Amino acid sequence: MIDEKKFKEFAQEHQPHLIDCITHLRSISKTIEIYEYHKAEAYIRIKNLEPTNTQQKLMLVFELDASYLGRLSIQAHVQSAIHNSRALYDLFAQLLNKVRVCKIFCVSGCLS
């Protein structure tokens, strides 16, 4: 992850117009947090819904009440994680488009 403080120091020193990119860094960080939340919630629900015997496996497939809502919750969290991962790539691309103007930018110098 890019360290906001190091990036800000770099921008002030080399390219002051890059200060505007701090909002992109914050958006990327928040999107990662949301992605991690949905991923963790989906994993927890999958583990809770995982059948341990044959009868539970059949109930999971054919029952339409509690297990249906559990599966729907898993699907919602997985889809949210996927959408957040796509948004993350979009935000990162926007950040790179702004930063690429600066030819002396070194990614390794801003990593935490």
Q: What is the pLDDT of residues 73-112, one digit of tens each?
A: 889 999 999 999 999 999 888 888 777 755 555 666 666 5
C-alpha–C-alpha distance, residues 104 and 18, integer Å: 12
- pLDDT tens across 37-62, in order? 999 999 998 888 777 788 777 776 67
Work out the end-to-end distance of the chain between its first and last CA atoms, rounded to an integer number of angstroms: 6
Burial class (CB within 10 angstroms; exposed 0-12, middle 13-18, buried 19+) of 3: middle
Confidence label for 64 from pLDDT (cuts 50, 70 and 90): low
Q: What angle do CA 47, 48, 52 make, to 5 degrees?
A: 80
The model's pTM: 0.67
C-alpha–C-alpha distance, residues 82 and 97, integer Å: 23
Residue ranges of alpha helices (H) inside the chain are 4-14, 22-49, 54-62, 66-99
C-alpha–C-alpha distance, residues 47 and 89, integer Å: 28
